[in-house]
């Protein structure tokens, strides 16, 4: 096996990793503050892609405006769902939330499927790459599609900005305080509930963004989130629940590892991530970056 | 006669099925320091939590600065000028000391960060450390000055002397005295009679979720034996 092929696999892995990182970061942000696992995440990722597609069909909006608008719309929908539905289940058993978000996932998938079939007579639609990002870049040692490099770069920037805001700014201090001790934080004059809604919006907005980024690579279809989110949950388990930096690093690392591993030993292609997850669970059940509950 | 800053009437509080406070009546006048004395489990902490809106299952009325606050969420009660320093101090370990100091929204009349750091230089020196890395006494100081940022009119202080060395307790006493000198009213929960009688203008005595006695500063000396008996196990 030559180095060039391996390098291409590393880049492919980084592209997959970009999606894992954006999605697991969103899950981590949400879990940190709300203590819920958002099982709707894959559906909202798909919705990001679908909204971008629909904005193009209805308003003729191209990739760039959609890249901003679609995640915002997904975030707004998420915030509305948090206010009206999720917030009613806080303090109840986690299984209630699981059932609700699972139900909402099915609902979203079927709604999108209906709309696509009835309005556009397709069950799956391609999404064109913006012209500036078509073609390839010659990196000297390998040639790689421009758009995919853009995906890696943008995901990296978005992830690092999110990390920076949470760890280093006043907004982040409020989020961390509300996560650690909502009762005391509220008593200090901070409307924790409002921040919970906002953080949920940001978390699902990241999923929406990943969806728009995915649209030109994978085609837009109602179940595009279903498989990806399963791998993402494996990434979350490997990285450890709730760690911001952990979710980013693990996302990219697992992407690369899985792609390289699949190249080295093709039969493992689909199972490598889950084998990795099993090993991590055996050695360190709280994940590579996760602290035991209570030591946070 | 001036109106009470805090007027609590017929307050009942519950943890699930268990009825913990039984029809409390208490008042704090503007600028007054009032203590709640009582043994472990008498219901002192529960009283502060009920007033601050942290504990929600309660009945009766809590009037603060002329407004009924019983139904308000605690962040709105804080915005009206009430501040709570919990028994566990509530220092956030995922925040640096500096982030802890600057967490509450600053309001007119509140302490600026500058004033906090000038009064307690150690909070500036340790600014970048996690809040939990401070000593017990420093954490207590931090917990008290943190809430001053919003310029409260009433401070609910839950056992500030608990578990601290006498010299630190002394310093905390000085601090409370100074704040009260500036016109801040304090509702102080204590089991340390010496500390409480130094600071408070008036004492309410708690037994099993009820106020059973009220002692003014001038009568503390004469009624010392009674007070000691109320507090001993
Ligand atoms: N979270 C809770 N759930 C159920 N019961 C509680 C809870 N917190 C306190 N209690 C009970 O309520 C009663 C009053 O407790 P509270 O903490 O108000 O007492 P306290 O006077 O502050 O005691 P201490 O001096 O030990 O701090 C006690 O009987 C206690 O066991
Ligand atoms: Mg107590």
CA distances from B3 to B6, B30, B61, B67, B84 (A): 9, 8, 16, 12, 22
Ligand 2 is an ion; residues with CB less than 5 A from it: B 45, 87
Quote the pLDDT of residue A91: 84
- For chain B, what is the domain count? 1
CA distance B96 to chain A (A): 9
Q: Which residues from B are below 8 Å from A173, CB to CB?
A: 95, 99, 102-103
What is the per-residue DSSP string for B35-89? EEEE-TTSSHHHHHHHHHTSS--EEEEEEETTEE-TTS-HHHHHHTTEEEE-TTT
B1 within domain boundaries: no
If you search the block for the tokens 């509220």, which residue do you land on?
A186
Whether the predicted pLDDT of B65 surpasses 90: yes
Quote the pLDDT of residue A292: 62
Task: Break chain A into its structural domains and give their ranges.
Answer: 3-295
Q: Least CA distance to B148: which residue of chain A?
A: A188
Quote the pLDDT of residue A1: 61
Please give the number of the atom of ligand 1 that sits closest to the Cα of B49.
18
Q: Least CA distance to A296: which residue of chain B?
A: B94
Higher pLDDT, A140 or B179: B179
What CATH number is attached to the domain comprising B226? 3.40.50.300
Quote the pLDDT of residue A265: 87
Please give the number of the atom of ligand 1 that sits closest to the Cα of B44.
21
Contacts of B123 (CB under 8 A, 6+ apart): B97, B98, B101, B116, B117, B138, B141, B142, B145
B18 within domain boundaries: yes
Whether the predicted pLDDT of B88 surpasses 90: yes
Backbone angles phi, psi at A145, to 5 degrees: -60, 135
Fold of A3-295: ABC transporter involved in vitamin B12 uptake, BtuC (1.10.3470)
Quote the pLDDT of residue A5: 86
Whether the predicted pLDDT of B28 surpasses 80: yes
Q: Which of A188, A192, A242 is the best residue to mutate to test the B interface, defined by the most B CB atoms within 10 Å of its own CB?
A: A188
Quote the pLDDT of residue A296: 43
| Residue A240 backbone class (left: φ over 0; alpha: ψ -120 to 50; beta: rest) | left
Q: Is this complex's ipTM strictly greater than 0.90?
A: yes
The whole-model pTM stands at 0.90
B131 within domain boundaries: yes
Whether the predicted pLDDT of B135 surpasses 50: yes
Between chains, do A173 and B99 touch, taking CB under 8 Å as contact?
yes
Whether the predicted pLDDT of B92 surpasses 60: yes
Averaged pLDDT, B118-126: 94
Per the structure, the complete domain to which residue B49 belongs is given by: 6-231
Alpha carbons A32 and A266: distance in angstroms, whole number: 36
Quote the pLDDT of residue B1: 59
Quote the pLDDT of residue A142: 82
> Residue B134 carries which DSSP code?
S
Q: Between vectors from CA A138 to CA A133 and to CA A144, what angle results, nearest 5°? A: 60
Q: Which residues of chain A have pLDDT under 70?
A: 1, 242, 291-296
- CB B81 near ligand 1, within 6 Å: no
Whether the predicted pLDDT of B2 surpasses 80: no
């Amino acid at each position: 096996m030559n180095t060039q092929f391996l390098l291409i696999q590393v880049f492919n892995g980084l592209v997959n990793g970009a999606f894992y990182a954006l999605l697991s970061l969103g899950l981590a942000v949400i879990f940190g503050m709300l203590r819920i696992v958002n099982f709707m995440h894959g559906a909202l990722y798909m919705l990001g892609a679908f909204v971008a597609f629909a904005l193009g069909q209805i308003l003729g909006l191209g990739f760039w405006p959609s890249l901003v608008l679609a995640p915002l719309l997904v975030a707004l929908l998420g915030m509305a769902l948090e206010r009206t539905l999720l917030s009613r289940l806080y303090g109840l058993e986690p299984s209630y939330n699981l059932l609700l978000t699972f139900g909402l996932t099915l609902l979203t998938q079927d709604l999108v499927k209906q709309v696509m079939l009835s309005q556009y007579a397709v069950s799956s639609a391609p999404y064109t790459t913006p012209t500036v990002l078509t073609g390839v870049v010659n990196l000297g040692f390998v040639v790689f599609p421009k758009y995919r490099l853009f995906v890696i770069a943008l995901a990296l920037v978005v992830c690092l900005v999110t990390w920076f805001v949470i760890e280093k700014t006043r907004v982040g201090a409020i989020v961390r305080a509300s996560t650690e001790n909502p009762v005391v934080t509220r008593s200090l004059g901070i409307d924790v509930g409002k921040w919970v809604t906002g953080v949920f919006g940001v978390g699902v907005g990241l999923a929406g963004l990943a969806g728009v980024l995915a649209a030109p690579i994978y085609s837009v279809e109602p179940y595009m989130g279903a498989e990806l989110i399963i791998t993402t949950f494996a990434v979350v388990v490997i990285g450890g629940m709730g760690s911001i930096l952990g979710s980013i690093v693990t996302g990219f690392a697992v992407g690369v590892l899985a792609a390289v591993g699949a190249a080295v030993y093709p039969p493992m292609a689909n199972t490598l991530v889950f084998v990795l997850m099993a090993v991590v669970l055996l050695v360190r059940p709280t994940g590579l970056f996760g602290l035991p509950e209570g030591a946070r | 006669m001036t109106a009470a800053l805090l007027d609590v009437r017929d307050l009942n509080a519950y943890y699930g099925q268990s009825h913990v406070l039984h029809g409390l009546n208490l008042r704090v006048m503007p600028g007054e320091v009032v203590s709640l004395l009582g043994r472990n489990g008498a219901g002192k902490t529960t009283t502060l939590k009920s007033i601050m809106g942290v504990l929600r299952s309660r009945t009766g009325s809590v009037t603060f600065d002329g407004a009924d606050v019983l139904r308000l969420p605690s962040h709105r009660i804080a915005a009206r000028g009430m501040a709570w320093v919990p028994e566990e101090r509530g220092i956030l370990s995922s925040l640096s000391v500096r982030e802890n100091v600057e967490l509450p929204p600053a309001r007119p009349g509140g302490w600026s960060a500058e004033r906090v750091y000038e009064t307690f230089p150690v909070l500036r020196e340790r600014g970048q450390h996690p809040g939990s890395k401070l000593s017990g006494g420093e954490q207590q100081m931090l917990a008290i000055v943190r809430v001053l940022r919003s310029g409260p009119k009433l401070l609910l202080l839950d056992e500030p002397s608990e578990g601290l060395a006498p010299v630190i307790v002394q310093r905390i006493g000085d601090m409370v005295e100074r704040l009260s000198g500036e016109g801040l009213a304090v509702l102080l929960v204590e089991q340390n009679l010496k500390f409480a009688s130094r600071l408070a203008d008036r004492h309410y005595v708690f037994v099993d979720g009820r106020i059973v006695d009220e002692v003014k500063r001038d009568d503390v000396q004469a009624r010392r034996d009674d007070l000691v008996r109320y507090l001993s196990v």
